[in-house]
């Protein structure tokens, strides 16, 4: 198989994996049982494939495979993964008023359908909402799939916001 064909197949496989992850409850039973470790393992395999392709004569396609691998694992260089971050308090009760969804690399939505913009600082792993309903609020990424709410002084609170692949464009996830 030529390097370009191998790269395209790897990219297609990762896109299918990402699509299955985004399906949530509608995903086939085999996909529903995947854990974060499974996705990270898939991402590592795709990273290895990107490295192989770079050495095998398809360096132009390797970054695409690498970026898709990071997205499948829930990790992006530019910030949080597209989807919903369903916040809950220390007792595990969901708090819809604090939940937020990532629509793209700079836009977020709220549980009630509000929209605004955010910036993500990869160094501090802090997302800051710059306008909209959450203007001025901050969240710190503590895991590839979890953010914690920061208080006004920048201290981590007891509220955790784990990732959920729900559609952030819908109202009342």
pLDDT in tens, 78-115: 579 999 999 999 999 999 999 999 999 999 999 999 99
Rounded-to-integer distance, Cα 65 and Cα 7, Å: 7
**CATH for the stretch 83-164:** 2.40.128
For residue 168, pLDDT over 60 is answered with: yes
pLDDT band at 144 (very low <50, low <70, confident <90, very high): confident
In this predicted structure, what is the pLDDT of residue 173? 81
Q: pTM for this structure?
A: 0.57
């Amino acid at each position: 198989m030529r390097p370009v064909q191998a790269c395209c197949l790897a990219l297609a496989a990762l896109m299918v994996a990402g699509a299955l992850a985004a399906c949530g409850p509608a995903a086939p039973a085999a996909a529903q049982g995947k854990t974060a470790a499974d996705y990270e393992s898939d991402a590592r395999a795709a990273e290895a494939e990107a490295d192989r392709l770079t050495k095998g004569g398809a360096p132009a396609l390797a970054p695409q495979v690498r970026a898709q691998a990071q997205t499948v694992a829930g990790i992006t260089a530019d910030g949080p993964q597209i989807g919903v971050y369903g916040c809950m308090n220390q007792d595990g009760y969901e708090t819809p008023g604090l939940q937020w969804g990532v629509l793209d690399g700079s836009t977020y939505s709220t549980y009630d359908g509000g929209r605004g913009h955010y910036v993500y600082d990869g160094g501090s792993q802090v997302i800051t909402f710059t306008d909209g309903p959450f203007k001025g609020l901050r969240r710190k990424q503590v895991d590839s799939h979890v953010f914690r709410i920061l208080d006004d002084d920048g201290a981590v609170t007891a509220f955790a916001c784990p990732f959920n692949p729900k559609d952030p464009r819908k109202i009342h996830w």
